[in-house]
Amino acid sequence: MSYKEIIDKIKPELDKVIIFLERELQKIRTGRATPSLVEDIIVECFGQKFPLKQLAAISVPEPKQILIQPWDKSYIEGIISALEKTGIGLGAVADKEAIRLKFPPLSQEYRKDLQRLISEKEEQAHQTIRRWREEAWDEIQEGYKEGKIREDDKFRAKDELQDLVDEYNKKIEEIAEKKKKEILE
């Protein structure tokens, strides 16, 4: 296996790290309402568990409000119970056909906690990228020891691998910075 194949093999894994980070950060509540905050909450109905998005239409009629319209009125109680268990800190107001979640303004202390949480998730993503880099580098060195990769290719591989890692680390930093700015708004 050539060093290019080894590097190409980890690219999909690095893409998964980026996708995972984006999904995790979408779940962090900013001052703005977004369906991704609640759509994956597990609701128990009729002895089974379902993600909220399978039981209701979720929309954002105003920047600081989420509207949940269950397909069946009998789901409302289970949905409210699930929302309370998540601890996302939103007041759920139910009427006969829908549930409204109002977003209170974020306190400065809460904003700092959210920024710390974003930094932790950013660091976890960087660590995963480093693990993939180490794994690819170990494979490249093993190929060199076995004579499958030439010495000059080994050093070329090291540079290309580092460039790839730098590119993904930059993406991670941009995603995290964007989310931190949303929290400050």
**Can you tell me the distance from the alpha carbon of 71 to that of 175, in angstroms, rounded to the nearest whole number?**
34
Strand runs labelled E in the chain: 42-45, 48-51, 56-62, 65-70, 91-94, 99-102
pTM as predicted: 0.67
The per-residue pLDDT for 13 is: 93
**Can you tell me the distance from the alpha carbon of 32 to that of 77, in angstroms, rounded to the nearest whole number?**
25
What is the residue extent of each domain of the chain?
A: 3-26+108-184, 35-102
Annotation: CATH topology of 3-26+108-184 = Topoisomerase I; Chain A, domain 4 (1.10.132)
Annotation: CATH topology of 35-102 = Gyrase A; domain 2 (3.30.1360)
How would you write the pLDDT of the chain (185 residues) with one tens digit per residue? 788 888 899 999 999 999 999 888 877 766 667 777 777 778 888 788 888 788 888 888 887 788 888 888 888 888 788 877 776 656 777 777 888 878 777 778 878 888 888 899 999 999 999 999 999 999 999 999 998 889 889 899 999 999 999 999 999 999 999 888 887 77
The per-residue pLDDT for 53 is: 81
The per-residue pLDDT for 90 is: 66
